[in-house]
Structure 1
Amino acid sequence: MQPAYDGSMFAAYQDVILVAPNYRTNVFGFPNSPELPQTGQNLGFLDQRFALDWVQRNIHAFGGDPTKVTIFGESAGAFSVDALLTSFPKNSTPPFRGAILESGQISYRAAPEAPSTPSWDTLAAMLNCTGTSNLTCIRAAPATTIKNIIEMQELVFNPVADNVTLVSNPAQMRLSGNIVNIPVLSGTNAQEGRVFEVGQTNVTQYVQTTFGAIPGLPEQIEAAYPIGQNGLNSDYDVISQIFTEVEFQCSDALFANATASVGIPSWRYYYNASFPDAQPYNFLGVYHSSEIPQVFGSYLLTNPILGPTVQEYALSSFMNGAWAKFAKDPVGGPGWNAIGTGGSFWLGASDQDLGVLGNQGNTNGSGVTVIQESTVDYRCDLYKPLYEAVSGVQIS
Structure 2
Amino acid sequence: MRSIYKLALALAFQACYVQAATVSVSTTSGVLQGTQQDGLMMFKGVRFGQSPTGNLRWAPPVAFTSSAAQNATTLGPSCVQQFPFAVAAINQRLFNTPPPPENEDCLFLNVWAPAPAGSGLPVVVWIYGGALAFGTAWIAEYDGASLASNQSVVVVTFNYRTNVFGFPESPDLPLAQNNLGFLDQDLALQWVQQNIAKFGGDPSKVTIMGQSAGAASVAAAYVRHAPGTAPFRGAIMLSGTVVSKNPTPTFTSFNAMATALGCRQSPGAARLACLRAVSASTIRTYTNGASSGTWTSLVDSVTVFSDPLQMIRNGQTSRVPFMLGHTQDDGTLFALNQNNLQAYLTANFGNLVTANQVRALYASGLSDNAIIADLIRDFVFLCPAELWGGAGVGAGIANVYRYAYGPVFADLQLFPNAGAWHSSEIPEIFGTYNSSTATAAEKTLSSTMQTIVGNFARNPAVAPAPNWPKYVPGNTTSTLAKLAYNSNVALSNVVQAAGSNSLDSPCDRLWNQFLDVRV
TM superposition score normalised by structure 2:
0.68
Partner secondary structure for residue 374 of structure 1: coil
Instruction: Give the unaligned 5+ runs of structure 1.
Output: none
Contact 2:235-2:322 within 8 A present in 1 as well? yes
Corresponding residue number in structure 2 for 1:354? 480
Aligned to 1:338: 470
Distance in 2, Cα, partners of 1:104 & 1:138 = 32
Query: Deviation at 1:8?
Result: 1.3
Q: From the superposition, tell whether residues 203 and 114 of structure 1 become closer, same or farther in structure 2 (CA, over 3 Å).
A: farther
The answer as to whether partners of 1:175 and 1:262 remain within 8 angstroms in 2 is yes
- 8 Å CA contact 1:353–1:371 kept in 2: the answer is yes
- Alignment correspondent of 1:369: 496
2:191 pairs with 1:54: yes
Letter in 2 for 1:365: N
Q: Identify if the C-alpha distance between structure 1 residues 227 and 8 changes in structure 2 by more than 3 Å, giving closer, same or farther.
A: same
Query: In the alignment, which residue of structure 1 is the partner of 2:202?
Result: 65
Amino acid at match of 1:331: A
Specify whether residues 87 and 212 from structure 1 end up closer, same or farther in structure 2 by C-alpha distance, changes over 3 A only.
same
Given the alignment of the two structures, is residue 94 of structure 1 paired with residue 222 of structure 2, yes or no?
Answer: no
* Pairwise CA distance, 1:211: 4.1
Quick one: distance in 1 between partners of 2:424 and 2:162? 22
> 2 CA distance for matches of 1:210 and 1:34?
25
Report the alpha carbon displacement of residue 115 of structure 1 after superposing the two structures with TM. 4.2
Q: Give aligned pairs, total.
A: 370
Superposed displacement of residue 76, structure 1: 0.8
User: In 1, are the aligned partners of 2:244 and 2:306 still within 8 Å (CA)?
Assistant: no
Task: Name whichever of 10-19 and 199-208 sits farther off.
Answer: 199-208
CA offset digits 1:165-203 (Å, max 9, x no partner): 222321121111121221000010111111111111122
Taking the aligned partners of 2:256 and 2:439, their CA distance within structure 1 comes to 48
In the alignment, the residues of structure 2 paired with residue 103 and residue 258 of structure 1 have an alpha-carbon distance, to the nearest angstrom, of 17
- Residue of structure 2 in register with 1:325 after alignment: 455
| Equivalent residue for 1:194, pick from 332, 340, 365 | 332
Q: Distance in 2 between matches of 1:114 and 1:225?
A: 33
Pairing 1:11-160 to 2, within 5 Å after superposition: 11-90=148-227, 92-108=228-244, 112=246, 115-131=249-265, 133-152=270-289, 153-160=291-298
Give the Cα separation in 2 of the matches to 1:114 and 1:240.
29
Partner Cα separation in structure 1 for residue 480 and residue 292 of structure 2: 37
Separation of aligned partners in 1, 2:342 and 2:296: 30
Give distance in 2, aligned partners of 1:146 and 1:212: 31
Q: What is the DSSP-based 3-state SS (H/G/I as helix, E as strand, rest coil) of the residue aligned with 1:66? A: strand
> Compared with structure 1, are the counterparts of its residues 25 and 353 closer, same or farther at alpha carbon in structure 2 (3 Å cutoff)?
same
Name the amino acid aligned to 2:507: C
Q: CA deviation at 1:208?
A: 4.8
- SS of 1:46's equivalent in the other structure is helix
Q: How far apart are residue 108 of structure 1 and its match?
A: 4.9
Q: Which residue of 2 aligns with 1:5?
A: 142
In the alignment, the residues of structure 1 paired with residue 416 and residue 368 of structure 2 have an alpha-carbon distance, to the nearest angstrom, of 17
Identity of aligned residues (%): 38
Change (3 A) 1:327 1:120: same
CA distances 1:217-241 after superposition (whole Å, capped 9, x unpaired): 542221222443xxx4x22111111
Q: Is 1:259 aligned with 2:392?
A: yes
Aligned-pair distance for 1:27?
A: 1.1
Amino acid at match of 2:411: D
Deviation string for 1:211-268 (max 9, x for gaps)? 45336x542221222443xxx4x22111111111111111211111211111112111
Quick check: 1:71–1:96 contact (8 Å CA) kept in 2?
Answer: yes
Q: Aligned to 2:371, which of 214, 238, 259?
A: 238
2:518 to 387, 392, 396: 392
Choose between structure 1 and 2: higher strand proportion: 2
Deviation at 1:209, TM superposition (A): 4.5
- Check the 8 A contact 1:107/1:169 in 2, yes or no: yes
Higher relative contact order, chain-length normalized (CA < 8 Å, sep 6+): 1
Of residues 441, 446, 449 in structure 2, which corresponds to 1:311?
441
Partners of 1:330 and 1:45 in 2: how far apart?
A: 24
Q: Could you tell me how far apart the structure 2 residues matched to 1:177 and 1:32 are?
A: 29
Q: Going by fraction, where is helix more abundant, 1 or 2? A: 1
- Deviation (angstroms), 1:137: 1.1
Per the TM alignment, residue 207 of structure 1 is displaced from its structure 2 partner at its CA by 3.6
Distance 1:82 1:6, change over 3 A: same
Structure 1 counterpart of 2:487, one-letter code: N
> Deviation string for 1:294-350 (max 9, x for gaps)?
1111102xxx5x42112211111111100110011011131211112xxx22xxx42
Q: CA deviation at 1:385?
A: 2.1
Alignment of 1:285-304 (within 5 A): 285-300=419-434
Does residue 1:273 correspond to 2:407, yes or no? yes
Is contact 2:257–2:292 with CA below 8 Å preserved after alignment? no
CA distance in 2, matches of 1:200, 1:62: 48
Q: CA deviation at 1:282?
A: 4.3
Give the distance between the partners of 1:165 and 1:375, measured in 2 at CA: 33
Instruction: Tell me if the contact between 2:407 and 2:420 (Cα under 8 Å) persists in the aligned partners.
Output: yes
In structure 1, the partner of 2:12 is: none
Q: Is the 8 A contact 1:191 1:240 kept in 2?
A: yes
Alignment of 1:158-197 (within 5 A): 158-197=296-335
CA contact (8 A) 1:113 1:158 kept: no
Worse overlay, 378-387 or 287-296: 378-387
**Native 8 Å contact 2:244 2:307 kept in 1:** no
CA contact (8 A) 1:70 1:99 kept: yes
Please give the TM-score of this superposition, normalised by the length of structure 1: 0.88
Does the CA contact (< 8 Å) of 1:246 and 1:380 recur in 2? Answer: yes
Distance in 2 between the 1:73 and 1:93 partners?
20
